[in-house]
Chains A and B, each alone.
Chain A
Amino acid sequence: MHELSVVFHVIDQLEEVAKENDVKEIKTVTLQLGEVSAVLPWYLTDCWNWAKKKHEIMQDCEMKIEKIDAVTFCEDCKQTYETVKHGKTCPFCGSGNTFLVQGNEFMIKEIEAI
């Protein structure tokens, strides 16, 4: 829902990294995005392509997105399952005593830079 504002956070961090590493141009940025991070990849890319133009060192930078599957663990039957399919209710034992193991990440993995 807040794709544009997270794009601004990404840009801030990349500018910091660029300064520290004497980067002249960022060619690509790779993000890792959890399936249930509440961020839509296509919308994120749209926002990126608009916002990057305002920053010289990344105006031609391509955003790559790696998906991280969402996995939930059931405290009662100790099994894991696909979050997106079953939500918070364990498909094995019906318990709601579950928590997300992975899938809400939003990480900057790496950049290719000159």
Chain B
Amino acid sequence: MSNEREVRVLEIKKSVFENNDREAEKLRDELKEKKIFLLNLMSSPGSGKTTTLKRTIAALKDEYKIGVMEADIDSDVDAKAIAETGAKAIQLHTGGMCHLDAGMTRQGLDALIENDVEFAILENVGNLVCPAEFDTGAVKNAAILSVPEGHDKPLKYPLMFEVCDVVLVNKIDVMPYFDFDMEKCKEYVHMRNPKAEIIEISAKEGKGIDEWAAWLKKEIDAWRG
């Protein structure tokens, strides 16, 4: 048994997310070099993500070449709706995962470069839990919280609101029909993340889109230099 090797203990002591975090940093460096601003957009299903996207594209399409990266877990209904706006739709393959990670985002990078995209939006999987755990390599993170979901969501899904730079409170047009307390909602978001920007919008009616577009423009221009 002279060739038999001993069992040895190798200490690793590394976060399971470490490789992904490293990959995300690398991706951000490449985006910076190519002057591409990538926004990671997260929300629950049915919060109005596609409608918000369409409004956002309409507001900024004269300023930037816009691309939207879509996850394949969504039906192609969304991709079609995006293509109709004139933005470049890029399909990502997640293999049915509940979130996107940096490796998946990377699949779309070449397509962004080929199409000279300046402002890219990553439409994450509709879910308030898993997407918050994985750095996608995006420059900024945004979450949509819609009025019918309730003002207590920041308490129930704290990590989502901790990682967000901006929270869009959508469907404010239906406020009269729900027991949604806007002040409490803002308080809860800031409890989890004092630096989060909160913008009230109605994607359906176009309310608040100017403020949202102005926030984006400021961030995009700062990133692209």
- A residues near B, CB below 8 A? 1-2, 4-6, 9-10, 12-13, 16-17, 21, 23-24, 27, 31, 38, 88, 96-97, 104-114
A96–B13 CB distance below 8 A: no
A107–B11 CB distance below 8 A: no
Q: How far is the CB of B28 from chain A (nearest CB, A)?
A: 19
Range class of the B interface residue count: 20 to 34
B97–A13 CB distance below 8 A: no
B17–A5 CB distance below 8 A: no
Residues of B1-31 whose CB lies within 8 A of A = 5-20
Chain A, residue nearest B8 (CB): A113
Question: Inside 8 A of B13's CB, which chain A residues have their CB?
Answer: 107-110
Question: Inside 8 A of B19's CB, which chain A residues have their CB?
Answer: 9, 12-13, 16
In the complex, A24 Cα to B6 Cα: how many Å?
11
Is the CB of B171 closer than 8 A to any CB of chain A? no
Is the CB of B158 closer than 8 A to any CB of chain A? yes
B7–A27 CB distance below 8 A: yes
In the complex, A97 Cα to B155 Cα: how many Å?
12
In the complex, A31 Cα to B13 Cα: how many Å?
9
A24–B5 CB distance below 8 A: yes
B98–A17 CB distance below 8 A: no
Please give me the 10 A-B residue pairs with the lowest Cβ-Cβ distance, nearest first: A108-B12, A2-B130, A106-B16, A110-B11, A2-B98, A9-B16, A114-B5, A111-B10, A5-B97, A1-B130
Q: How far is the CB of B215 from chain A (nearest CB, A)?
A: 27
Is the CB of B186 closer than 8 A to any CB of chain A? no
- B residues near A, CB below 8 A? 5-20, 97-99, 101, 127, 129-130, 133, 155, 158-159, 191
Chain A, residue nearest B188 (CB): A96
Question: Inside 8 A of B17's CB, which chain A residues have their CB?
Answer: 9, 106
Besides A107-B14, A111-B10, 11 other CB < 8 A contacts? A2-B130, A5-B99, A12-B19, A17-B10, A17-B12, A24-B5, A107-B15, A111-B9, A112-B10, A114-B6, A114-B8
What are 27 A-B pairs at a CB distance below 8 A?
A1-B98, A1-B127, A2-B99, A2-B130, A5-B98, A5-B101, A9-B20, A12-B19, A17-B12, A27-B7, A31-B16, A38-B129, A38-B130, A88-B155, A88-B158, A105-B15, A106-B16, A107-B14, A107-B15, A107-B16, A108-B13, A108-B15, A109-B13, A110-B11, A110-B12, A112-B8, A114-B6
Question: Inside 8 A of A106's CB, which chain B residues have their CB?
Answer: 15-17
In the complex, A102 Cα to B127 Cα: how many Å?
24
A108–B14 CB distance below 8 A: yes
Contact of A10 among B16, B98, B159 (CB under 8 A): B16
A23–B98 CB distance below 8 A: no
